[in-house]
Amino acid sequence: MDEDFLRISRMFDATRSVVRVPKLDPKFKIAVLASKQEHCLIDLLHSWQDGRLPVDITRVISNHDRFPNTHVIRFLERNGIPYHYLHTTNENKREDEILDLVQNTDFLVLARYMQLISSKFLLRYRKDIINIHHGLLPSFKGGHPSKQAFDAGVKLIGATSHFVTEELDAGPIIEQMVERVSHRDNIRSFVQKSESLEKQCLAKAIKSYCELRVLPYEENRTVVF
């Protein structure tokens, strides 16, 4: 078996390989980072609870302080998942504390976490981070892409799940989804459709990643099979 894998790695110039038996190996341990918007976070929590995602959510980290009686906090307390509120500023992103909290994770998920991840954090964490962007990258980068797309009068909206790199919203794409909109949509229905796509796209990207169906390819591309 070792010889077979060595031959395959040489054939494809692979720098690393992972072999897992899903029914026997432990689930991937992840931490979820989120901000105020919580549709992606809630969807991930329920997907985890229902067994639709092959992960163990070890903790949720947020720069938004949620009150004790909110849906998210009640859910986390019932299921024994720690919630860490870390107030961030432009001068202090609390990355040292976040790194301490995620040391034992296999990868991170940014579920609408509205903070930039620094190159220093990426270098120190050294594992994959999956992000969801409510737009078809590379269009409408940065803040408020739904508003940007609505104002531009687009006819197709989308969501993109990608790996986090030093360049904003420019990491290798894992999954993209689209839906048609029209002049009949107002900003509310527009955002609702966008949020629905985000939830589906992020969940599918995580599932594909955990099933080892996402392969880095060239400098900034992936093969997903």
The Cα–Cα gap between 183 and 2 comes to: 58
List, in order, residues 6 or more apart from 42 with CB less than 8 Å away. 71, 72, 75
| Other residues' Cβ atoms within 10 Å of the Cβ of residue 49 | 13
Amino acid (1-letter code) at residue 214 = V
Which residues are catalytic, by number? 169
The Cα–Cα gap between 163 and 50 comes to: 25
Contact assessment for residue 14 and residue 92, using Cβ atoms and an 8 Å cutoff: no
